[in-house]
Amino acid sequence: MGFVLTFKVLLTDAMGLFDEIVIPKSYLRNLISKENEKLFCKEHVFQTKDFDNLMDLYKISGQQLYKLDRSVPHLGDNDYLSNEKWNKVYDTVSINFYDTVKDKGDNEYWAEFKFLFEKGKVDKKELISCELQATKEEIDARQKMWDTEQGILDEYRQNSFSYRFFSWLQARFQKITNWARKKHSIPLNIRREAYEKSGRLEKDPDCLEIYNDN
């Protein structure tokens, strides 16, 4: 059961950037049991990948969806909820949000919900999952397994001359590869000429932006 949670967490991390959304616990009532309500903070921060995935922060207040205005300075990471500059979001959108939470006994749960917003207002709410994924005993056993494995692997990395030599060699070859790649890159003016004659530059004026640093 614990490995399912681990897979979900690793999959989420592998998917890259995400946004966060602050959901008052009161919005989760009637979706979860009274006991499971204790798993969440009064203003709980969930992750979501259903916006632009630019590490932005959203919240719900008065059934309305808001987005934090990052252009307004605030005191720090713990001050975002008191920042008064929140912009209303008027999109009609379905948002999945999720988090890994623990109870008082350090047992882990996977929680996932889906809210539908109609022109920025909460329209429908749905529980996707709020289930125990790993007990504390399973988590401790998993950590002990990983620690044992890493101890053996780290010892090999430190004591194997072959491993250390070829790691050093790989790093040197990588530097040479990076240097050679820069040396044979096509000059920007040549690429511009090609894109102008092909018509690409006219259709997509920004197509050369990714090459400006070369």
pTM of the model: 0.66
Residues 69 and 170 placed together within one structural domain of the fold: no
Residues 130 and 196 placed together within one structural domain of the fold: no
% the chain with pLDDT above 90: 72
In a domain, 70, yes or no: yes
Residues 65 and 25 placed together within one structural domain of the fold: yes
What pLDDT score does 213 carry?
A: 64
In a domain, 120, yes or no: yes
* Region of poorest pLDDT, from 27-41, 94-108, 124-138, 198-212: 198-212
Domain that holds residue 188: 161-201
Q: Is 59 exposed, middle or buried (0-12, 13-18, 19+ CB in 10 A)?
A: buried
What pLDDT score does 53 carry?
A: 87
* Region of poorest pLDDT, from 73-87, 141-155, 184-198: 73-87
What pLDDT score does 78 carry?
A: 52
- Residue of 27, 26, 40, 48 whose CA lies nearest to 95: 48
Q: Looking at the DSSP assignment, which residues form a beta bridge with residue 96?
A: 114
Q: Which two tokens stand for residue 144?
A: 């002990």
pLDDT > 50? residue 124 = yes
Distance in angstroms (rounded) separating the CA atoms of residues 121 and 130: 24
Residues 124 and 188 placed together within one structural domain of the fold: no
Residues 31 and 69 placed together within one structural domain of the fold: yes
Separation in Å, CA 171 to CA 155, 163, 165, 177: 20, 12, 10, 10
Distance in angstroms (rounded) separating the CA atoms of residues 203 and 181: 28
pLDDT > 60? residue 4 = no
